[in-house]
Structure 1
Amino acid sequence: MAQLIVALDFPRQEAALSLARELRGFVPWCKVGMELFTVGGPALIESLKHLHYNVFLDLKFYDIPHTVGQAVRAAASLGIDMLTLHCQGGERMCREAAEAASGMASGKPLLFGVTVLTSFMPGEMPGISAAPAEHALTLAHGAQTWGLDGVVCSGHEAGHIKAALPGLQCLCPGIRPAGSAAGDQRRIMTPARAVAQGADFLVVGRPILEAPSPVEAARRILAEMAAGRAL
C-alpha cells in the first residue's frame, strides 16, 4: 500500500516542526531535504523521531564510494529510516552504500537511488541523449543489482519500472493533486495516477505546506491515493 511523505521544505526548523506537530497522526513520513538539514542538522532529526515520524533524509549522496559509505553510516546513526543517493554514482558507490547500511547495528535505513529528476524534460539532461523514461529504467536495473531498496522516479516512469522490476520500490516526487500548480516540477502526476502506476511512496510538499489547512490537504491527498488503488 502506497504511503504519503510530507516534504518539510522550509528554511527554518521552527516552521518545519510546527507543521510536523500539526500533521502528526495523519502522515506517517516526513522528508528532510538539503535546505532544512543544513539549518537544523541532527537535532532536527531527533526532534522528528520524538514526534514518532519515519524520517526520509533526502540529501542525494553522490561522491567517491568511500565517502558515500561513510555518509550513509553517519546518517543511519541518526536513526533515519530512508535516504537517497544518485544511481549515476555507479555500481561501486551504490554497493558501498548498501554494505554500509546493512552493517548498522541500530537498524538499516531504506536506500533509494535517484534516477532522473522530475525537473528534467527530454533533451535537458547534460550528456545524456536517452529519454527520461529510458534512462530511468536503465538506472533502475542497476539499482536492483547493486543492492538498493528502490528508486526515485516520476510517476510517469513508475509503471515501466514496476513491470520490469517488481521487487524494486518506487518513490515518486512531483506529485500534484488535481488543480495544483506545478511550480518548478515538470513531469508531474496526480496522487491517484501515481498509485495506479505502482508507486510505493508519494512525496508531497507545497500542496500541503501552502494549503490554508495542511491537515485537510493531506486528507484529500490520502483520499486520492485510496481512489488510485481502485484504478
Structure 2
Amino acid sequence: MVEATHRLLLGRSSLPGEINCLRQRWVRAAPRPVACSNTLFWGDGLNPSIIVSLDFPAAAPAVDLVGQLGSAASVYKVGLQLLTAAGPSFVRDLLDAGKQVFLDLKLFEIPSSVASAVAAAGQLGASMVTVHASAGSSVLEAAVASAAHFPELKVLALTVITSMDDEALREVGVASTVPEQVLRLARLAHAAGCHGVVASPLEARLLRNALPQGALIVTPGIQPLEFAKGDHARFTTASEAIKAGATHVVVGRPISRALNPAASFAALCAELEV
C-alpha cells in the first residue's frame, strides 16, 4: 500500500480537465510559505492554525471549496481518497496557488517503504505527513530520517484515530484506555524524533502536559456543538481544542457542508481569534 502511494505521489494526475479548472479559478500570485493569520508553523511561534480538510471523492468539489474560501484559508488536508482520485497534480496546484498541504497518508508499512513514501511527500512539497505511531519506533525513526532531507516537511505520528473508543481498542487487543494508548504512542513518537502527533481534541491537554512546548498537536474531530458527530467518537469544538493545548485544528464537514463555507470559515477564525 505504501509503495503504491509512493508511486502515486510521484506520478501525474489522469484528470487534466479538473486540474485545468484549478488553474482557471485559483490566483497564483502568492509564493509559499504564505504569511497569513492562520499560518502553519513557519517561524518560531506556534500560532493556532486551521487546516481545512478536503475529504472529497473527486477534484471538482475540492476545487469549488478552495475557490470559495479564497485567500482566507491557506492550509489544506489531502487524504488518500482525494489523492487517489485527483492525483499529485492536484497537490501541486494547491502549492502553486500559495497553499500549504497536509498529506494525511496514515502510513503503516515496513521502515524502508515508509521512508520512500515520506521522501515522495517531501519531493511533492507537502508540509506535513502522517505515519501510524503503532507501526513502532523503527518505522517512525525511518520516517523522520527521510523527512530530514526536506526542511519544510513535518512528520506527525497518528496515535489513535478519532473513530475509536476504549471498546474498539479492546477489539484489536489493546487493553489500555484511549488516553493511556494516546500518551504511550505520543511518547514513542517523541523519542523517535517526530515533529508532533495527531490525536483527538479530548487528549490535547494530556499531550500538551506530556510533550515539549515545541511539539505539534494536530487535532481532527473538530465539530460545533450543534453539528452531528459523524464518524468521530471523540470530538469537541475548535476553541476548546486550542485552549486545551492543540497547535492546529483540522476541520472538514462544518465548513465543506455549510450553506456558506466562506462564512463558516470566517466564524471559525473569529472563534479562535486568528
> 2:125 aligned with 1:79, yes or no?
yes
- Do the aligned partners of 1:123 and 1:129 also contact (CA within 8 Å) in 2? no
Give the structure 2 partner of residue 92 of structure 1: 138
The aligned amino acid for 1:136 is V
**Aligned counterpart, 1:216:** 263
- How far has the Cα of 1:3 moved from its partner? 0.1
Q: Displacement of 1:226 after TM fit?
A: 2.7
Q: Which residue of 1 aligns with 2:4?
A: none
* Secondary structure in 2 matching 1:100: helix
Q: CA deviation at 1:121?
A: 1.2
Partner of 1:190: 237
Q: Provide the C-alpha distance between the structure 1 equivalents of 2:212 and 2:243, rounded to a whole number of angstroms.
A: 14
Do the aligned residues in 2 keep the contact of 1:24 with 1:51 (CA within 8 Å)? no
Structure 1: stretches of 5+ with no match in the other structure: none
Equivalent-residue separation in structure 1 for 2:273 and 2:167 (angstroms): 34
Paired with 2:85 and 2:260, the residues of 1 have a C-alpha distance of 25
Q: TM-score, structure 2 length as denominator?
A: 0.80
Partner of residue 159 from structure 1, selected from 199, 205, 210: 205
Q: How many aligned residue pairs are there?
A: 225
Residue pair 1:6, 1:204 contacting (<8 A) in 2 also:
yes
Give the match for residue 160 of structure 2: 116
Question: Alpha-carbon deviation of 1:223?
Answer: 1.8
1:30-49 matches, cutoff 5 A: 30-49=76-95
Match of 2:111 in 1: 65
For residue 172 of structure 1, the aligned residue among 212, 219, 235 is 219
Q: Identity rate of aligned residues, in percent?
A: 36
Q: Distance in 2 between matches of 1:35 and 1:181?
A: 22
Q: Using the TM superposition, give the Cα deviation of residue 166 of structure 1 relative to its aligned residue in structure 2, in angstroms.
A: 2.8
Aligned to 1:52: 98
Measure, in 1, the Cα distance between the counterparts of 2:178 and 2:269: 28
Which ranges in structure 2 are unaligned for 5 or more consecutive residues? 1-46
Over aligned residues, Cα RMSD in angstroms?
1.2
Structure 1 match to 2:17: none
Measure, in 2, the Cα distance between the counterparts of 1:131 and 1:24.
41
Distance 1:108 1:89 in 2: 23
Q: Is this contact kept in 2: 1:192–1:226, CA < 8 A?
A: no
Q: Moved runs in structure 1, 4+ residues, more than 3 A?
A: none
Deviation at 1:123, TM superposition (A): 2.0
Letter in 1 for 2:184: T
CA contact (8 A) 1:57 1:82 kept: yes
User: What's the CA shift for 1:178?
Assistant: 2.5
When normalised by structure 1's length, the TM-score is 0.94
Q: Which residue of 2 aligns with 1:8?
A: 54
Partners of 1:175 and 1:90 lie apart in 2 by: 27
Does the aligned pair in 2 maintain the 1:175–1:190 contact within 8 Å? yes
Query: Which residue is 2:14 aligned to?
Result: none
Larger radius of gyration: 2
How far apart in 2 are the matches of 1:15 and 1:154?
26
| Alignment correspondent of 1:130 | 176
